[in-house]
Amino acid sequence: MTIKEQRLHEALQHYYGFRTFRPGQLEIIQRVLAGRSVLGLLSTGSGKSVTYQLPAQLLPGITLVVSPLISLMVDQVQRLRMRGKFSAVYLNSSLEPAETRRLLSEVEQGRYKLVYISPEKLQQPNIQQLLARRGVSLVAVDEAHCISQWGHDFRTDYLRLPEIVQKLGNPPVLAVTATATEEVQREIARLFHIHQEDIVSQSLNRGNIAYDIIAVTDEAEKREKIIEAVAKLHGPGIVYCRTRQAVEQFVATCQLAGLDKVEGYHGGMSAMDRVLIQEQFLRDELSVIVATNAFGMGIDKPNIRYVLHYHFPGSIEEYTQEVGRIGRDGQPGYAALYFAIEDLAIHQHLSQAEYPEPAVIELFVASLRAKTGLKLAYPEIAAGLDLPETQTELLLFYAEQAGLIARSDRPPYGVQVNSGFPADAANRIGQRIERARQAKRTKLTQMVNWLQQKGCYRQALAAYFGSTDDLGYDLYCCSSCGLQRIDYEQDVSRLTAALPETNWNLHEALRMLLPVELYNRGGHHH
């Protein structure tokens, strides 16, 4: 081991308490510290965050972490602070303006090594200037596949990142993702000027996960089978549904069946309930979470034993991410998907909500045309159109691409509506959106193809991501190759171990929570 490697191991031990790096981590970190831009392809659960958190402690300036999900950002920073060795902060739209100003001035004073930021916050020129002044040593782009227009999770703000990196003085970029096809990898590398030899790719194969695809004919059969599986399987586990309604119904069914340690989780719940349920699950007080895809991003729970899919996801990438939460401790785990072709209707419905109809595009362009030459703040642009926010974002992005509007660099960061609209503007935007919609549909088709093929599911998955060298597995491979679910089962008692109604004692209950006497007896050490 070289001295440099020695030092990195010491740092790993100091900050995380680990002795060794996971595959790929060291290679990535060394390149990043040498000032190279890197694309890191690491399978889910293989410790992507270490690859930028550790360099952040060793580099002189700020490490900027661009992350698409507010909840993920908040969660990571919160947990870093819990560990107490990192000075991290996040900046996103959930903060109040006064708070943002305060945090920014602390960033400027150099209080933080790690700055998590949402891509839309990073669009603001004043923030860019502040960061450039302070000095950015590394830009880590988490979930880097979001930059691909043909990927499964395109985010318009991501496409502007290469330009912003330039404005920050061209620090090296570390793009990380667990779900990128070869095509998307090439696109990321091109956009961030990453050399072929700096693509560090770990096998995306998860040998400890067995894939079980179970065909069902109707809802009743599906529900019955999943209930049975939940009752028998060794937890903790997650059941993924595509809609909130399905989550609630399935939880109710479980509870009626006497499975008490099952709870639902979705975006419609109050923020506090979501935190409580998540914490109960992390502390093994719950066995099963029934959730929409809102659950699991950035959750660090190593002992998840199974993931069941009530509905199939919209793409193989999403599927990989969701089942990837199984067995991060390396122990064998079980992934079952209950496949009913009728569930396509749900995806159709979701897609309709995501992309604006041609008539809506016409209206949008007409309303822009009426405002030619004006400067508009964001709320004014889509006023009166009553569009969902994602649709507005998408329309604005394509309108900018088509040259209809320009973003202004100075507060209040609205847009300038250009004059001289091409007559076919709406048409052009419509075509672009149609292409995006098509790309999404292709993803969905590929997902269904994977489910309907009869060969080895592991091999087909690897082929999709373009790396079939590693097809190893430990317990079972998949339902095509043959598996025995019984090996992932246990007896029912743990699930129905309902809390006994113990004798209630207010005095004691409060003192458990707030042990003031104990504290005072302990004296004031520090």
Binding residues for another protein, per CB under 8 A? 74, 78-79, 81-84, 94-96, 99, 252, 255-256, 260, 263, 268, 270-273, 275-277, 279-280, 283, 285, 498-499, 501, 504, 506-507, 509-516, 518-520, 522
Give the sign of the dihedral formed by CA 168, CA 60, CA 185, CA 325. negative
Q: What are phi and psi of 80, to 5 degrees?
A: -65, -40
Which DSSP symbol is given to 152? T
What would the two tokens of residue 380 be? 């004014």
Indicate the residue among 51 and 92 with the shorter CB distance to another protein: 92
CB of 271 to another protein, least distance (A): 5
Specify the residue for token string 């089942």. 323
**Closest to 208 measured CA to CA, from 313, 333, 111:** 333
Shortest distance, position 346 Cβ to another protein, whole Å: 16
Closer of 96 and 491 to another protein (Cβ): 96
- Number of Cβ within 10 Å of residue 362's Cβ equals 16
**Which one, 144 or 239, has the nearer CB to another protein?**
239
Helix, strand, or coil (residue 439) = helix
Nearest CA among 109, 175, 119 for reference residue 143: 175
Strands 199-201 vs 38-41: parallel, antiparallel or unpaired = parallel
233: helix, strand or coil: strand
Q: Could you tell me where the DSSP H helices lie in 59-109?
A: 70-83, 97-108
> Which is closer to another protein, CB of 99 or CB of 182?
99
Q: How far is the CB of 294 from another protein (least distance, A)?
A: 15
Query: Whose Cβ is closer to another protein: residue 266's or residue 309's?
Result: 266
At its nearest, how many Å lie between another protein and the CB of residue 501? 8
Q: For residues 184 and 151, what is the distance between their CA atoms, to the nearest angstrom?
A: 7
Q: How far is the CB of 19 from another protein (least distance, A)?
A: 23
∠ CA 514-519-524, nearest 5°, is 140
- Using the Cα atoms of residue 453, residue 456, residue 461 and residue 464 in order, give the sign of their dihedral: negative
CB of 168 to another protein, least distance (A): 27
**Closer to another protein at the Cβ: 267 or 422?**
267
110 in Cβ contact with 59 (< 8 Å): no
Q: For the CB of residue 260, give the shortest distance to another protein in the complex, in Å.
A: 8
- Which among 219, 431, 457, 247 has a CA at the least distance from the CA of 345? 219
The whole-angstrom separation of Cα 425 and Cα 212 is: 48
Nearer to another protein, 25 or 287 (CB): 287
Residues in the chain: 526
Is 3 or 256 the residue whose CB approaches another protein more closely?
256
Q: Tell me the closest approach of the beta carbon of residue 83 to another protein, in angstroms.
A: 7
Angle (deg, nearest 10), helices 425-452 and 358-369: 150
CB of 238 to another protein, least distance (A): 18
Nearer to another protein, 78 or 484 (CB): 78
